[in-house]
Structure 1
């Protein structure tokens, strides 16, 4: 009898569910079939693969992050016919065995923050329904060591933080030789990959690309942007200038981020072609000093109802003033952030107080000059403090000096042009210093004669 009990206990341990021992499980009973099943949290569980445990019969999500994993092999923990999400980020994974993932229903896998340098072409062969793949912050150095042949349904990929930039300048993301992305991809993130230039026709095969994050690289010029884009992040690149031609054929673009670039001005008509634009970020642009009032075109100044932008942020830049003609368009915004700029609080900026800016966006909306108003919150100041008296006195002084110089110049021209030609100007000057005949010196002989007499 005791032997039977021992064998039973051994069998029970051998088939122990992760939910009964090492992991935290929560059943998700949402109506949608996509979200039904156990959410299994095995994060921070070092040695999870060493335990002889299995998954619940119906599991939706498995979290193995921060578990000090160095290699992924075929194991009972990675076998499931229902799993939709697998989280393996923040481990030390250097290798994945080709037959590791037996997860035919998997839609999402996160392998970010590991030490992968290579992925075998057979690794994803059993993940044909995969839609989301995160490989950010690994150690890939060439795009050829990534193979996406089996991922026919992939629509979002994140490759941030891998030094694949030089490789991408020679090999297209959608390379047709077998390892490139499929044309179904809608979201690509290649931030901080060391990309210097984007070659011509780089996205020519991206027929349905909706979101592109290409921030944190070394791109200096705006490249040929896919016309299907709805979201574009070009932040943290040394882009020198922007023009309306750069955004001329982007009818669907709704979000544009140009944070921390090297532009010096927002020129006229630059955003006029972007009729679908709803969010614009121009934050932390330390060289940006000019924001032209016609940046969104002339029509929005004449009829603010044509201004469809909802959110605008230029915080942390170097804008000192804005034209009052922008009052009505900016007044249409749902969210406006002008904080962290060195504003000149004079009579030309008092109109800013008429904008309906929520309190959270004017804590750091402060004056830089004049000195008496330095660091004062603009919305705490009464309109009477926004004066231009000093400016007018300064302008008046300049006008007085200019007028005096013009009078002197006119007088000099008159002397040299209208004085009679037969009178030598030199003689005129000489005559001005010639003594009068009334004070002529008498002849010496006459003087001596008078003395003798």
Structure 2
């Protein structure tokens, strides 16, 4: 009896504390049996049991075979594989062929990664994947297909995710995907395709990534009408005149057409759906569109994120967003906008952030954001603003948290008096306030905070015109001139009195309370999916292992299914104690990583603390970094991933210590 108790205690101890590599010899993990077919492992490879969790609860163990980066030229003998294996990593080798029945002894595989080998369509035999009825994910990135052909899908009835990134694919045969009846996501990022592959038979397909190809025509018939996410950014599209997405209107939510060859005369987006649609994210960045017309977004009622940066926009019709009642994020940065229509942003009740940096805007219209009471972030850096007056209505935006007005030619004159007083009394975070300057005269530039607005004796423009006229009529209308002058003086003093009372009420009211946020994770990990392998196999095991026991928030695992990507990012950043940026070249180039950095930045200002950590996974030129990330790199100490194995223990210890520290006050980041 004592022996039985000892065995049970030993089993519980191993499950809780043992290193995953022990599981390859743990006799209790596979139906309480230990057959040789389960314990075997190919030479040069590692076999282990990884714990699968769901909603924080350990569900079961999965057998994982890792043969990645082993300089293999052929796949291991299938007779050497454990029969209960569910995950099989073969990436980053030199495998040149897949013979028939390559995986006949592993019918339970759900994930198979063959990325970055030397495979070609001709070197994959027809029955290579036979028997993989349970496979859900197949990655073939970085191979050399050129022409993707073969009827592999007939043996992959359960596959949901297929990835062919960076495979030099120029064309896809018509029947390649026909058998993948459960396919939900397919990725052709960075290939040489000139048209959309034929996926119309894949009725469950939800997402297709064709970013960075050579697609020059939108072949609608090749897509199923159930598609929800289409990424056609960085292609050669130039015309949508004869394209109709009317049959996609009830499902398509994410539509990325950034970095194409659209010209304004050929871009008529409202005819794509010819009626209502459910698009939530629309990205048109880096196209030569010149103008935004009021009819473009007339049917985009569900739109929440709209981005059209760096597209040479100089004209925006006043009613462009009038029907976009759910709009939360608008990015109009990097264009040629000189002025904003008075009602452009009015009435957008859900508007959260407006990005207008990098334009040539000279003034903001009166009541520019009237009716947009939830607005939190206004980014107006690098424009031609010289003043912001009271009529703009900043003082009425009770939820405003961040205002970025850097790199504008402010003038220290009477027009800036109201704004200078508002700066003293507001709780809004004004980016880099200490460095803001204004020009008092042609040769004198002073810091905005040193501008003494009360030292100016400002008269209204009408009085400035009236005084010379009164001098000419000095004798005949002396009494009228005196009355006229004092009338406006009295009005000026009265308005100034009311304004000071308003400032006093704001000062007495104190800072507005911040909404409470439930912290569910120790750290949110922001990374490029090209670095997913390092995150899964290096970072995650180290930080979530028994030694450190951190709870990471990882997109592939913790994002809420069915919600939009950017909503998941917002919620995850707010629900995490810290945000860890894994900086690489691909991270800098990623639009979603940029979005994650912006959300971390917003949290910094919301919570009034610095919760951002940086790990430099590879050398990156700071010139290519976004401004905020460059500023962080220059003002914060960051961790660099060591090249030498012996230095990595210190790296993990340091990272763990930093993750355990309380968040610094954000003023430390700004002032240092």
TMscore range, shorter length: 0.5 to 0.7
Measured against aligned partners, the alpha-carbon deviations of 1:46-97 in whole angstroms (never above 9, x if no partner) come to 2174654733333332222212222223466674222111112222222322
Are the aligned partners of 1:345 and 1:386 in contact in 2 as well (CA < 8 Å)? no
1:366-385 correspondence runs (5 A): 366-370=406-410
1:340, distance to aligned residue in structure 2 (A): 5.5
Q: Which of 237, 249, 252 is matched with 1:229 structurally?
A: 252
Q: CA deviation at 1:345?
A: 3.4
Show the counterpart of 2:40: 17
Distance in 2 (CA, whole Å) between partners of 1:268 and 1:378 is 35
Map Cα deviations across residues 391-436 of structure 1 (whole Å, 9 max, x no partner): x99xx99xx9xxxxxxxxxxxxxxxxxxxxxxxxxxxxxxxxxxxx
Q: 1:267 aligns with which of 271, 293, 312?
A: 293
One of 345, 349, 357 as aligned partner of 1:307: 349
Match of 1:82 among 108, 127, 144: 108
For 1:116 and 1:324, the matched residues in 2 are separated by 58
Choose which of 72, 84, 99 in structure 2 pairs with 1:47.
72
Of 230, 235, 238 in structure 2, the residue corresponding to residue 220 of structure 1 is 238
Deviations, residues 176-202 of structure 1 (Å, cap 9, x unaligned): xxxx64233221222232122325xx2
Shift of 1:135: 1.6
Q: Does 1:187 align with 2:207?
A: yes
- Give me the whole-angstrom Cα distance separating, in 2, the residues matched to 1:302 and 1:183: 40
Q: How far does residue 131 in structure 1 lie from its aligned partner after superposition?
A: 1.4
Partner of 1:134: 163
Q: Which runs of 5+ in 2 are unaligned?
A: 1-34, 326-342, 414-429, 437-447, 469-672
Aligned to 2:281: 255
Equivalent-residue separation in structure 1 for 2:223 and 2:113 (angstroms): 30
Which residue of structure 2 lines up, in the alignment, with residue 332 of structure 1? 374
2:127 is aligned to: 99
For residues 243 and 256 of structure 1, the distance between their equivalents in structure 2, rounded to whole angstroms, comes to 14
Structure 2 SS opposite 1:30: strand
Give the Cα separation in 1 of the matches to 2:392 and 2:104: 62
> Quick check: 2:96–2:117 contact (8 Å CA) kept in 1?
yes
Aligned to 1:407: none
Looking at structure 2, the residues matched to 103 and 33 of structure 1 have their Cα atoms a distance apart, in angstroms, of 26
CA distance in 1, matches of 2:176, 2:371: 48
Q: Is the 8 A contact 2:386 2:408 kept in 1?
A: yes
- Corresponding position of 1:68: 94
* 1:125-164 correspondence runs (5 A): 125-144=154-173, 147-164=176-193
Q: Kindly tell me: are residues 105 and 276 of structure 1, through their superposed partners in 2, closer, same or farther at Cα, counting changes over 3 Å?
A: same
Are 1:289 and 1:317, in contact at CA under 8 Å, matched by a contact in 2?
no
**1:129 & 1:207 partners in 2: Cα distance?**
20
The TM-score with structure 1 as length reference comes to: 0.66
The answer to whether the 8 Å contact 2:38/2:84 transfers is no
The structural deviation recorded for 1:298 is 7.7
State the TM-score, normalizing by the size of structure 2: 0.46
Quick check: 26-35 or 205-214, which moved more? 26-35
**Correspondence for 2:224:** 206
Alignment of 1:399-418 (within 5 A): none
Cα distance change on mapping 1:155 and 1:321 into 2, 3 Å = farther
For residues 26 and 206 of structure 1, the distance between their equivalents in structure 2, rounded to whole angstroms, comes to: 38
Who is 1:114 aligned against? 143
How many residues get paired?
365
Matched, 1:323 2:365: yes
Q: Which residue of 1 aligns with 2:5?
A: none
Secondary structure of 1:18's counterpart equals coil
Instruction: State which drifts further: 320-329 or 301-310.
Output: 301-310
1:344, distance to aligned residue in structure 2 (A): 1.8
Return the offset for 1:321. 5.1
Shift of 1:255: 1.0
For residues 393 and 411 of structure 2, the distance between their equivalents in structure 1, rounded to whole angstroms, comes to 19
Give, in whole Å, the separation in 2 of the partners of 1:310 and 1:35: 41
Counterparts of 1:218 and 1:386, CA distance in 2: 54
**Residues 273/50 of structure 1: CA separation in 2 closer, same or farther (3 Å cut):** closer
Using CA pairs below 8 Å that are at least 6 residues apart, which structure has the higher relative contact order? Answer: 1
> In angstroms, what is the RMSD of aligned CA positions?
4.4
Q: Does 1:240 align with 2:250?
A: no
Q: What residue in structure 2 maps to residue 451 of structure 1?
A: none
Tell me, in whole angstroms, the C-alpha distance in 2 between the residues paired with 1:274 and 1:229: 12
1:10-51 alpha-carbon deviations (Å, 9 max, x no partner): xx9999733885225342243699985123333212217465
Confirm or deny: 8 A CA contact 1:279 1:309 kept in the other structure: no
Task: Name the residue aligned to 2:198.
Answer: 173
Unmatched runs of 5 consecutive residues or more in structure 1: 1-11, 175-179, 401-453
CA drift at 1:207: 2.1
The alpha-carbon deviation at position 251 of structure 1 amounts to: 2.3
What is the CA distance between 1:139 and its match in structure 2?
A: 2.5
> Which protein shows a greater Rg?
1
Does residue 1:297 correspond to 2:339, yes or no? no
SS at match of 1:327: coil
* In 2, Cα distance between equivalents of 1:383 and 1:121: 69
Residue 366 of structure 1 and its aligned partner are, at CA, apart by: 1.8
